[in-house]
Amino acid sequence: MSDFPSNAELSRELDQACAGELERPADASAPSGPIIDFSHVSVAFDDRPVLEDVSFYVNRGQTLCILGRSGVGKSVALRMLMGFLKPDEGSIRVEGQEIIGLGEEGLRAIRKRITMVFQNGALFDSLSVRENVAFPLREHGGLNEDQIQEKVAQLVNVVGAEDVVEALPASLSTGRKRAVAIARALAAEPEIVLYDEPTTMVDPIIARRLGDLIEILKCHLGKTSIVVTHDMRFAERLADLVLFLHQGRAQYFGPLEGFMASTDPHIQQFMALDAYTLPSE
């Protein structure tokens, strides 16, 4: 398992990694082409279209941000990538493998490569932070107890949860739960991490740290990320690619720069609403 930077090293490693001063691990066996290819996907619930002919791709080591208002299908796309939902039409490929139609055994193999950080954290309520993070390490096997505890310490440290390692999830704030959920997700050593609204209901300090962490995972460890968010500032910081959904359709897919320069009225309205702040009294 790759070593993670300590809490004190996070800012320094972020600057070095994204400046190209830290070597990103190479995978000579990795296939060429997009690591995720989501092609002409449509799905409806109770005859109500949720996604209509949506296509996007993500290359290895890139971060895609999926933007749009509530209810436009952003989180549905993530659940399809995990195999929790099936589309009515289209193709979803992970490293060239079609995942639609896979049985449970095939989906388990896909879920070893892709992990998802849910809004609510989805932690085990009866387990401490330490045991939540250790859970995937025990499931995977191959490590003795000392090695497991060493990895747990690294992971909780990098997400800033070392002071709550013996706490139960019920005692944690929303931001802390989400940070612990990221630590647990990383313990499984995924190639792709999906984040469902990581900054919702968290304070700016935690939001900044989560952004730092996602950047480190990309720049230093070469992780591929898909981030569903409504937060334009978060997306501006992280995105290589942007998918903007409007009424279930892909209104824009492409580089961040093109999105920011778009004259599309739906995109301009979205950015204007995100930038709006209440006037001070």
Return the domain boundaries, the chain: 10-22+34-274
Q: From the centroid of its chain, how far is CA 126?
A: 25
Degrees to nearest 5, angle at CA 42 with 41 and 43: 130
Q: Are 55 and 63 in contact (CB under 8 A)?
A: no
Each residue's pLDDT tens digit, 99-128: 999 999 999 899 889 999 887 667 899 999
Q: How far apart are CA 107 and CA 96, in angstroms?
A: 14
| Long-range pairs for 253-260: beta carbons < 8 A, 24 or more residues apart | 253/55, 253/56, 256/65, 259/67, 260/236
- For the 10-22+34-274 domain, the top CATH level (class) is alpha beta
pLDDT value, residue 278: 41
Each residue's pLDDT tens digit, 122-171: 789 999 999 999 998 988 878 899 999 999 998 888 777 889 999 999 99
Each residue's pLDDT tens digit, 208-265: 878 888 888 788 778 899 999 988 888 999 999 999 999 999 999 999 999 999 999 9
Helix intervals (H) in 1-73 = 10-18
**Per-residue pLDDT at 203 exceeds 90:** no
User: What is the band of 52 on the pLDDT scale with cuts at 50, 70, 90?
Assistant: very high
This prediction has a pTM of 0.83
